[in-house]
Chains A and B, each alone.
Chain A
Amino acid sequence: MIGKKDLEHIGWLARLELSEEDKEKYAPKLNSILDYFGEIDKADTEGVEPLYHVLPMSNVFREDVPIKSLTQEEALSNAPKNQDGFIKAPRMM
């Protein structure tokens, strides 16, 4: 069960601000979904390896050869705020 406190913690981990109203609204739905997910406990996975990649691929590389980068203008073109070629973020503290 996800309680309000858990939801706050998960919200912080996900950097998703949740209002009191959000928390009230989300908790029951999230819990009913988690209840459903609980079904998988019944599956017998003893000795079964997790499948990370559906195709058995390995060793995919690129050579150490440069490509054309974006121009500074292109790199900054979508940034809501920039200054002197830097992307501008809010203060840290």
Chain B
Amino acid sequence: MYENPDGVMIGLEVHVQLNRLKTKVFCGCTTDYHSDPPNSHVCPVCLGLPGSLPVINKKAVEAAIKVGLALNCTVEEHTQFYRKNYYYPDLPKGFQITQYDFPISSGGYITIEGEDGEHRVGITRAHMEEDPGRLVHEGTIDKSKYTLIDYNRSGMALLEVVSEPDMRSPKEARRYLDKLRNILEYLDIFDGDLEGALRVDANISIKGGQRAEIKNISSHKGAERALLFEIVRQKNVLRRGGVVVQETRHFDEAREITLSMRSKEEAHDYRYFPEPDLVPLKISGWAPAIKATLPELPDARRLRFVEQYGIMDDHAKALTSELKFAIFYEDVAKKVDPKMAAVWVCDVLKGELNYRNLTIEAFKKEHILSVIDLLLNKKITEDGAVDIIRTLLDKGGSPFEIVKEKGLLKVEGDIVSTAAEEAIKENPRAVADYRAGKEKALNSLVGAVMKKTKGRADARTAREMLLDRLDKS
């Protein structure tokens, strides 16, 4: 049982951009603006020109239902759009079309690995809304002499997923975000790698204080940092006998601190009212058909991997935590020993990719199959296999070329044996140290063998041969 000594309560509001749609949520402008000039994917509707009217993208509604169902929510019988009235230069109409009293889905949950094992985080609601445009400032927002506006992003379909304050630590918050993103990717409604695809606001309170809302969080790591900072800040306020007030705070990503945004602007009164230009939706009837088309979700796939391939749960979890990895693994596991594939894809390849900040697209399936094949046929050593993977990532080529170029073919046993004998003869001091009980001295002998074989010896074989000889004489 996790005790949660500070009484931390965290709730997250995650804005998910449905960027796999072809068009925006209320107009037919295309969504592939990411590398195009500013204000080149706009029309009277998303530019807020007088007289323009919104019309709902049917696919966006289907995607929203998909997400709702995947988050175990109920799709509401009656749903409608509201206007949220506030002013900001990125908001072309002076209001945002969003949902309020009748969100499209509500009452679900996500299961995460919590501080004390499996932990359920409630989903209050997942509602649809439109994205504002993008602002560019010269330097920082407070110093910039003007604001530049690009409305290409304006009107992109967003889904705001609002959680209950069920997370008890920044770590749980991060895991929640990881899991949510993971599910969204499985649903194929979202490309998380595109800029602005996922944005987070966090609510956090500790025992004895009011909650603070932290805005402007753009990464999972950022969320964890912001929340860690905020817990310390709130504890300090209370310790000094102060009061933690309800307020909105801004996360300064560079400095990893949160700053109060207390100002006149904070006195918001959004004056929500139903959007008269859009009629209500009665789409709960779509749910069964959409549910039937839901893909296998991460938790289900993880269980299946353990059962079907007999791999460890840790491996299954790591492999399914990213859809592309899960697909990659499964393709490989169908052709070679699945357990061995799990080790090489999950333990080695994933680590090397992470280290280089690369995604799985950077590595070809045939290559990992070749590497595993070489290992199974005892053509290369495990160190050699790692070397091949690294070289493929850094320089490219093919596994066989690399084996040839680097001379990684495993050398014969008698050569290793000879090298071991020589190493013992040439390093009397290490031998003496080892015999005196310094186990570490063995490592330098192994090193000597590797040097003599130019790294082509299998380290484990070299070690065994050395031990064999040292124990005998």
Residues of A close to B269: CB separation below 8 A: 13
Is A67 located at the chain interface by the 8 A CB criterion?
Answer: yes
Contact across chains for A61 and B57 when beta carbons are under 8 A apart = yes
Q: Which of A57, A72, A87 has the most CB of B within 10 A?
A: A87
Is A84 located at the chain interface by the 8 A CB criterion?
Answer: yes
Q: Which of A57, A62, A88 has the most CB of B within 10 A?
A: A62
Partner of B56, one of A15, A61, A86, A90: A61
Contact across chains for A75 and B40 when beta carbons are under 8 A apart = yes
Interface size on B, residues (CB 8 A): 49
With A69-B30, A92-B137, A92-B144 known as contacts, the answer to whether A64 contacts B22 (CB < 8 A) is yes
Residues of A close to B60: CB separation below 8 A: 64
Give the complex CA separation of A28 and B42 in angstroms: 44
With A53-B276, A64-B23, A85-B38 known as contacts, the answer to whether A70 contacts B147 (CB < 8 A) is no
Contact across chains for A86 and B149 when beta carbons are under 8 A apart = yes
Contact across chains for A87 and B40 when beta carbons are under 8 A apart = no
With A61-B55, A75-B39, A93-B142 known as contacts, the answer to whether A88 contacts B148 (CB < 8 A) is yes
Is A26 located at the chain interface by the 8 A CB criterion?
Answer: no
Is B61 located at the chain interface by the 8 A CB criterion?
Answer: yes
Give the complex CA separation of A61 and B144 in angstroms: 41
Residues of B close to A93: CB separation below 8 A: 141-142
With A83-B148, A90-B146, A93-B142 known as contacts, the answer to whether A66 contacts B22 (CB < 8 A) is yes
Residues of B close to A13: CB separation below 8 A: 269, 271
Contact across chains for A84 and B276 when beta carbons are under 8 A apart = no
Q: Which of A70, A83, A85 has the most CB of B within 10 A?
A: A70
Partner of B147, one of A64, A75, A84, A92: A92
Is B160 located at the chain interface by the 8 A CB criterion?
Answer: no
Interface 1/0 per residue, A69-87 and B, CB below 8 Å: 1111001100000011111
Interface 1/0 per residue, B51-62 and A, CB below 8 Å: 000011111110
**A67, closest chain B residue (CB):** B28
Give the complex CA separation of A85 and B58 in angstroms: 31
Residues of A close to B278: CB separation below 8 A: 60
With A62-B58, A91-B147, A93-B141 known as contacts, the answer to whether A85 contacts B40 (CB < 8 A) is yes
Residues of A close to B30: CB separation below 8 A: 66, 69
Sample (18) of A-B pairs whose CB atoms are under 8 Å apart: A12-B264, A60-B55, A61-B56, A62-B55, A64-B59, A65-B28, A66-B30, A67-B28, A76-B39, A85-B37, A86-B39, A86-B150, A87-B149, A88-B148, A89-B147, A89-B149, A92-B89, A93-B141
Q: Which residues of A contact B (CB under 8 A)?
A: 12-13, 15, 52-53, 57-67, 69-72, 75-76, 83-93
